[in-house]
Amino acid sequence: DAGVIQSPRHEVTEMGQEVTLRCKPISGHDYLFWYRQTMMRGLELLIYFNNNVPIDDSGMPEDRFSAKMPNASFSTLKIQPSEPRDSAVYFCASNAARQGSGNTIYFGEGSWLTVV
């Protein structure tokens, strides 16, 4: 089982540049989550998808952030333009809504973003 795969693992970019983070969920999982983790705010849910459809994006901080899930095996989180305060670790996670599995969420290893 490959687990949730995220890329890039680390990115350093200049303020104003576009950043695209990528995620491949675990095969067969029908929920996908994007989280952001910072020292100040801890772990925040940005958006989640069910069967490729965005269900709740209330955690997306502002219009500079957007997320897509064009198919069951791929999602992107885009920041345009990026700002230094976007520096954080961005986690993708997935979950299978099978009876009895509850809502165990499996995390990727994160994309460590630094905006300078």
Partner 1 sequence: AQSVTQPDIHITVSEGASLELRCNYSYGATPYLFWYVQSPGQGLQLLLKYFSGDTLVQGIKGFEAEFKRSQSSFNLRKPSVHWSDAAEYFCAVGASSNYQLIWGAGTKLIIKP
Binding mask 1-40 for partner 1 (x = CB under 8 A): ---x--------------------------x---------
18's CB contacts (< 8 A; 6+ apart) are 78, 79, 80, 81, 82
Size of the site for partner 1 (CB under 8 A): 21
The answer to whether 85 touches 36, Cβ cutoff 8 Å, is no
The distance from CA 53 to its chain's CA centroid, rounded to whole angstroms, is 14
Asked if residue 83 binds partner 1 (CB under 8 A), the reply is no
Asked if residue 105 binds partner 1 (CB under 8 A), the reply is yes
The partner residues of 11 in beta bridges, in order of sequence, read 113
Binding mask 34-73 for partner 1 (x = CB under 8 A): --------xx-x--x-x-----x-----------------
